[in-house]
Structure 1
Amino acid sequence: MTGKELDRSVHLQLRTLSKENADGVAQHLVMVAALLEADEIDAAMAHAETAVRRAGRVPAAREALGMVAYRSGDFARALGEFRTVRRISGSDHLIPLMVDCERGLGRHERALDLAQSPEAKRLPTQEKVELAIVVSGIRRDLGQTDAALLALQIPQLKKSNQPRLAYAYADTLLGLGRADEAREWFQRAADADTDYETDAVERLEELDGVVPTDLLGGADEEDEEIEDSE
């Protein structure tokens, strides 16, 4: 890890630091991303905290710490870091995650207020998609399943490149007992999901009554039966 793997926008943020410090922080940020990908949360947290100690006014460092806290379920800490990023960068791109943090803290009304703020309405397309998914989840938490479905009916739902949105729509339809429509949308999600972001294929198999066979597990059981008979 050299640190050069980071996006150019992050390197621009690091230009406020000395070269030696910037190089070190960059390496820590690369490690955070790699360790999160490997689901090694504690190790990612150590690198993120070090990055913040060395570059507390760099938005990318605070965002990295917030992301690790979010992944670990520490929503209060994550929300604090995301608010700091928003304050020092002036960017609203973390609003969907902030709304989800409020949801995780059980503050559903505050979450919905933020989701309906003027800043949220100005988000770019992909952030709007993520926000719709979060808002739909909040509505389901509140037992408002019809409203949850309505929250997902945004223009991007008609696109063929939104697997997570199609998946959320399918899951909500299923919650309403509309299994045939749900199957159609799980299929759309599966067709669009080239990066395997969802388990749409498994959900389709479940709806179709397909039971996966563990061939290796079966072989082990047969071996055990042979050993027992011997």
Structure 2
Amino acid sequence: MPVPELDARQIQHLSKVERDRLVRKITNAGEHFLAERFGEVEEILRPLVKKHRRIAEIQELHGLTLYRLGRWKDALEQLEYSSQLTGDIDQLPVMADCHRALGQVESVRKLWEELRMAGPEASVMTEGRIVMAGALADIGDIAGGIRLLEKGPIKTRRAREHHVRLWYALADLYERAGDHQRARRGFERIEQVEPHYADVSNRLESLS
């Protein structure tokens, strides 16, 4: 995610000194997040989320940080709160993945249905699809996960990050299902557009 920008209306009650200090801290936290220094982000945000409960950008960034730290319950609580503040659905896939990590498949399914009915932009929908498919695979329904992913935007003229993530998830499930030919084709497709993506080279080597 980009470095968050605070809504001027939410900080207009602060003095100029307080506003400038808060903006510096949030900018610093955002830069740490992009550099994947999540422990540092959490240290910066921990006192801010309590002090500025109504500033959604702070609450959301903290929730995403907790998610990246593997603190699923805390992340879920924080992201649910930030979503209530904004009415935004962009973090529903992350919330669903928290439920998945906690083994709460029905909660994943509920959020997937909510996302599907809302019809968000393609990248958000695809992330939700990947999480739901993974949850199905977790309970042994690999075929169901494959069917769900195959309904996603597999074909595209210009591959974006969410397309590559979809291809990877699908190739992974093909391999788990024993369909090594399709798995190999999927990983090869990724290698053509993102040669160093994740562990694709190793996956292809193991399938050769």
Q: Same fold (TM over 0.5)?
A: yes
What residue number does 1:218 align with?
none
Aligned counterparts of 1:190 and 1:29: Cα–Cα separation in 2: 36
Aligned counterparts of 1:203 and 1:30: Cα–Cα separation in 2: 38
Residues 185-204 of structure 1 aligned to structure 2 (within 5 Å): 185-193=186-194, 197-204=197-204
Structure 1 residues 26-35 or 128-137, which shifts more?
Answer: 26-35
Distance 1:64 1:166, change over 3 A: same
State TM-score, norm by structure 1: 0.79
Aligned counterparts of 1:47 and 1:94: Cα–Cα separation in 2: 21
What residue number does 1:16 align with?
10
Say which of 64, 69, 76 aligns to 2:66.
Answer: 69
Distance 1:137 1:118, change over 3 A: closer
Aligned counterparts of 2:197 and 2:48: Cα–Cα separation in 1: 28
Which runs of 5 or more structure 1 residues have no equivalent in the other structure? 209-230
What residue number does 1:206 align with?
206
Amino acid at match of 1:67: L
Give per-residue Cα distances to partners, 1:141-164, cap 9 Å, x unaligned.
100000010111234111251111
User: Is 1:46 equivalent to 2:40 in the alignment?
Assistant: no
User: Is 1:91 equivalent to 2:91 in the alignment?
Assistant: no
User: Is 1:26 equivalent to 2:23 in the alignment?
Assistant: yes
Identical aligned residues as a percent: 23
Q: CA deviation at 1:185?
A: 0.5
Q: Could you tell me whether the CA contact under 8 Å between 1:21 and 1:54 is conserved in 2?
A: no
Aligned residues: 200
What residue number does 1:216 align with?
none
Aligned counterparts of 1:153 and 1:24: Cα–Cα separation in 2: 48
Q: CA deviation at 1:49?
A: 1.4
Residues 158-169 of structure 1 aligned to structure 2 (within 5 Å): 158-159=155-156, 160-161=158-159, 162-169=163-170
What RMSD in Å do the two structures reach over aligned CA positions?
Answer: 2.1
Q: CA deviation at 1:82?
A: 0.8
Which runs of 5 or more structure 2 residues have no equivalent in the other structure? none
